[in-house]
Amino acid sequence: MLSAEVKSKYELVIGLEVHAQLLTKSKMYTSDSTEFGNLPNTHISVITLGHPGTLPKVNRKAVEFAIKMGLACDSTITRRNIFARKNYFYPDLPKGYQITQDKNPICVGGNVPITLSDGTKREVALTRIHMEEDAGKSMHLAGEVDTLVDFNRAGVPLIEIVSEPDMRSSEEAYVFLSEVKKLVKYLDICDGNMEEGSLRCDANVSARLWGAEEYGKKVEVKNMNSFRNVARAIEHEFERQILLIESGEEIISETRTFDAATGLTASMRTKEDLNDYRYFPEPDLSPVIVSEEWLSSIQGAMPSLPRELHHKFVNEYGLPEYDAGVLTDSKEIALYFEELCTLTRNYKAASNLMMGPVKSYLNELTLHISDFPIGPKRLAELIQLIDDGKVNFSVATQKVYPEMLIHAEKTPLAIAQELNLIQDSDEGSLIPIVESVLAENVVKVAEYKSGKKGLMAMFMGQVMKKSQGKADPKVATKILMELLDN
């Protein structure tokens, strides 16, 4: 076993390669549908199948999606895009090569900002983002001697987001991935579903002694199907490498596969039988030129990004970092909240409502904010009701809000009135109530007057009870004090 002491001598170095399947309607180089879940081999034209005489054609939407991701990550956008062929044989690769980008990826550099659980903020540097096509799926069916291939996925557009070896803990990797997922979903370019494979991640992991200048030999780990498994695989790989180094063995640059059941990694192939992909410029595609106009039209259509909204929520709305983090976690929640904040100035109350009752309602019913029955306008009216002192926060959330969920058409004020929940802040009507409470508790009043000030709460409770909860606590307290202290 690896002792904490030994482990602490080593620094973990991680680079991630994230493949995101783009949400275009058609494939990267053909007009075949990208729809998921259809019968095998139903979205396969002669182009997808690589029939002789066919030629690819670039899907401009996919290029736009890649550019959007680049803009979101502050990458430099390559203006003259040349595609490249990556040559290898595999039954699910119809042409015997994948059309990808090699020397000039569409996005160069850039970064993804992350915030760790201890509040540390940093930016993870990106190497590149490039466009490519997915392969088909080999299927080993029970009872079948032959391996079957489904080419529906072949040619589906992907972007590959490659980070620098810039992460130092599995938590950083986890948060980086979460941020990437958040970004692609904000941009609406990928559904970010790692379990279904629309987001895939390979990790390059190495270990070195603290202070060492050279990186250790890196090992590529594949086949993690969740963020948690990426973190587990990295942790395991780090420890495996340290144990090897400590026992004087050499780390082999290799590809290893992660087994979620055991939490271990196992060797897939070593560098000796590494493929020589023989990249060269794709002669069947003319270069895709990103003009100034095209780029600015994409720039103009960029949605608000999590980091921008987070900044706005903290600096403009004065919300705590924590609130801003929760509210920007999902694009739709953030946009709902942003709209809500154009209708009320009580941002903290708005945030509390969103993070409390709204989120718990959605979570309980596993609903999406788009299915939320109450629009921002009504929710703003509810806040107004609290601000006006007509109901207090707990009455608002526990009595009015549940009714609003059922009767979305009614205003919160109408609901509060119907349920007789409007607070009474009229001294004229409250004085008789307070007087009668005091009259019914002569003994307690005497005790209060002799110094038992704690009885105030009891009197208050009685007042609330008598007023059926509608007494404005502030006004009632004031009257009580006046009458008792006389």
Partner 1 sequence: MEKFISFDEIKKSLENRETDCSAIVKYYLQNIQTKAHLNAFVEVYEQSALAQAELINEKIASGKAGRLAGMVIGIKDVLCYDAHEANASSKILQGFESQFTGTAVQRLIDEDAIVIGRLNCDEFGMGSSNENSVHGRVLNAADETRVPGGSSGGSAVAVQANLCTVSLGTDTGGSVRQPAAFTGIVGIKPTYSRVSRWGLIAYASSFDTIGVFSKTVKDNALVMEIMAGHDNFDSTASRKPVPKYSELLHFDKRVKIAYIKETIESPALQPEIKANTLAVLEKLKNEGHQVEEVDFPLLKYTLPTYYILTTAEASSNLSRFDGVKYGYRTPNAHNLESMYKLTRSEGFGEEVKRRIMLGTFVLSASYYDAYFTKAQKVRRMIKESTEDLLNKFDYIIMPTTPSTAFKFGEHSNDPVAMYLEDLFTVQASVSGVPALSIPNGKDKLGLPIGLQIITNSFKEAELYAFANYLSAFNSN
List residues binding partner 1 (CB under 8 A). Answer: 46, 49-58, 85, 87, 89, 91, 94-97, 147, 149, 276, 278, 280, 283-286
Beta bridge partners of 224: 201
Specify the long-range contacts of residues 84-91, CB closer than 8 Å, at least 24 apart. Answer: 84/279, 84/280, 84/281, 84/282, 85/278, 85/279, 85/280, 85/281, 85/282, 86/132, 86/277, 86/279, 87/277, 87/278, 87/279, 88/275, 88/277, 90/135, 91/136, 91/138, 91/147, 91/149
DSSP structure class, residue 398? I
Q: Which is nearer to partner 1, 106 or 183 (CB)?
A: 106
Tell me the closest approach of the beta carbon of residue 284 to partner 1, in angstroms. Answer: 5
Q: Determine the Cα–Cα distance for residues 454 and 407; give it in Å rounded to an integer.
A: 41
Cβ(385)–Cβ(416) below 8 Å:
yes
Q: Determine the Cα–Cα distance for residues 176 and 164; give it in Å rounded to an integer.
A: 12
Three-class secondary structure of residue 111 per DSSP: strand
Tell me the closest approach of the beta carbon of residue 341 to partner 1, in angstroms. Answer: 47
Cβ(27)–Cβ(149) below 8 Å:
no
Where are the extended beta strands (E) located within 213-355?
A: 219-224, 254-259, 264-270, 280-281, 288-289
Three-class secondary structure of residue 343 per DSSP: coil
Tell me the closest approach of the beta carbon of residue 97 to partner 1, in angstroms. Answer: 5
Q: Which is nearer to partner 1, 98 or 344 (CB)?
A: 98
Q: Which is nearer to partner 1, 183 or 285 (CB)?
A: 285
φ, ψ of residue 11 to 5 degrees: the values are -105, 135
Q: Which is nearer to partner 1, 250 or 276 (CB)?
A: 276
Tell me the closest approach of the beta carbon of residue 66 to partner 1, in angstroms. Answer: 17
Tell me the closest approach of the beta carbon of residue 107 to partner 1, in angstroms. Answer: 21
Tell me the closest approach of the beta carbon of residue 279 to partner 1, in angstroms. Answer: 8
Q: How many residues does the chain have?
A: 486
Tell me the closest approach of the beta carbon of residue 276 to partner 1, in angstroms. Answer: 5
Q: Which is nearer to partner 1, 90 or 322 (CB)?
A: 90
Q: Which is nearer to partner 1, 146 or 371 (CB)?
A: 146
Please count the CA atoms within 13 angstroms of the CA of 36 that sit on its side-chain side.
Answer: 13
Q: Which has the closest alpha carbon to 204: 261, 251, 158?
A: 251
* Cα four-point dihedral sign 220, 223, 227, 228: negative
Tell me the closest approach of the beta carbon of residue 150 to partner 1, in angstroms. Answer: 12
Q: Which is nearer to partner 1, 116 or 148 (CB)?
A: 148
Q: Which is nearer to partner 1, 62 or 285 (CB)?
A: 285
* % helix, strand, coil for the chain, step of 5: 40, 20, 40
Q: Which is nearer to partner 1, 58 or 380 (CB)?
A: 58
Tell me the closest approach of the beta carbon of residue 275 to partner 1, in angstroms. Answer: 10
